[in-house]
Amino acid sequence: MKRLRKFSIPTESVLPALAALAGLSALMSLCLGAVPVAPGAVLAALLGGGSGPAAQIVLYARLPRTCGCLLAGASLAVSGTVIQGVLGNPLAAPNVIGVNAGAGFCTAVCAALWPARTAALPLAAFLGALGGVLLVLTIAERSGASRMTLVLAGVAVSGMFGAGIDAVLTFFPDALNGYTDFRVGGVANLSMARVAPALWAALPAFLLALSLAGELDVLLLGEETARSLGLPAGRLRVFLLALAAALAGAAVSFAGLLGFVGLVAPHMVRRLIGEDSSARLLWASALGGAALLTLCDVLARTLFAPYELPVGVVLSLLGGPFFLWLLLRQRRRGGRGHA
């Protein structure tokens, strides 16, 4: 905790800086790609004054993609922040403990059985995400709720849900168009019609999480302390995990199984603002996650233009080493504590 505070700077400077970074990343996302578009042409297209190929590219290709990146990045980052706070485990994240995989499985089932009901995908993803996190939590608690047990249970549950996705696609091969992008995580070929239902699922969950930021601060002090202050710790824990599942499920419903945003972004912003206020941390995580995913998507489509990578590939290349570093760091801390 002390190391986090050592790097903290005033919140009044951090949040505007993160908001500016998110805005800059959105502008870059609208301008850059296989066909560059000047900022003036982007502004004209957004204001309705543009015409021609540039306006078509901005409005129908890049604007939905940019909105999807901002929404998915913010949702996954806030989900990871809530999960890490509730479980007291810095290694926990939606992709690590089976939340994303559960959401992906139910999304695949819904797409296979009710292909015309795309508006139902966020609800299906939420149910799968909630089922995944509760299953992992139950397994970890019954086998010894250590940090490593939670991670291993998440890996096992993610593997089972992944096999379930493969089974669904064996019987319904057309259930998920662009399955490779879904499995890795990608935001190509998005439309506003696919992003809008997820927004209406994620926004209430984010607002509810903000409204419970004070309770989350108390919960971080320990379950016994929370109960001594009259807080229903058990019910609050489950409700906060449900909100985290709703946020992760909303992102998975249109962006696929994106990994590491919910792990990397919360740790990055904690080093900037500390952990003294969950409300500030949630806002910072939302802005930081939105900027992180959008910038990764810009890299994914510009590094090898005119070819582009799924953004999930870039995230894995960045997030995988970060997760290994965090794992070794926690192991060293545990070893020193043991001694």
User: Smallest Cα–Cα separation from 314: which of 328, 325, 304, 329?
Assistant: 304
* Cα dihedral sign, 91-269-290-313: negative
Quickly count helices (H) and strands (E) in the chain: 16, 0
* pTM of the entire predicted model: 0.88
Residue 283 has pLDDT above 90, yes or no: yes
Are 190 and 56 spatial neighbours (Cβ–Cβ below 8 Å)? Answer: no
Distance CA 82, CA 216 (A): 8
Reported as a pLDDT band with limits 50, 70 and 90, residue 145 is low
- What single DSSP character describes residue 119? G
Cα 133–chain centre separation = 14
Average pLDDT (273-301) is: 91
Are 100 and 316 spatial neighbours (Cβ–Cβ below 8 Å)? Answer: no
Distance CA 132, CA 134 (A): 6
pLDDT in tens, 89-142: 877 888 888 888 999 999 889 888 888 777 788 889 999 998 888 888 888 777
Reported as a pLDDT band with limits 50, 70 and 90, residue 146 is low
Reported as a pLDDT band with limits 50, 70 and 90, residue 207 is very high
pLDDT in tens, 36-76: 899 998 998 888 866 788 889 999 999 999 999 999 999 99
Reported as a pLDDT band with limits 50, 70 and 90, residue 30 is very high
* Cα dihedral sign, 73-79-81-84: negative
Return the pLDDT at 175.
75
Reported as a pLDDT band with limits 50, 70 and 90, residue 8 is very low
Classify 60 as helix, strand or coil: helix
pLDDT in tens, 213-268: 988 888 887 777 777 777 787 788 888 988 999 999 999 989 988 888 988 899 88
Are 102 and 94 spatial neighbours (Cβ–Cβ below 8 Å)? Answer: no
* Look-up of token digits 């209430």: 204
Return the pLDDT at 2.
41
- What single DSSP character describes residue 48? T
Query: What domains sit in the chain, N to C, each tagged with a CATH number?
Result: 2-338 (1.10.3470.10)
Distance CA 94, CA 101 (A): 9
> Phi/psi at 281 (nearest 5 deg)?
-65, -40
Q: Which of 146-155, 290-299, 305-314 has the lowest mean pLDDT?
A: 146-155
Tokens of 228: 């001594």
Return the pLDDT at 276.
76
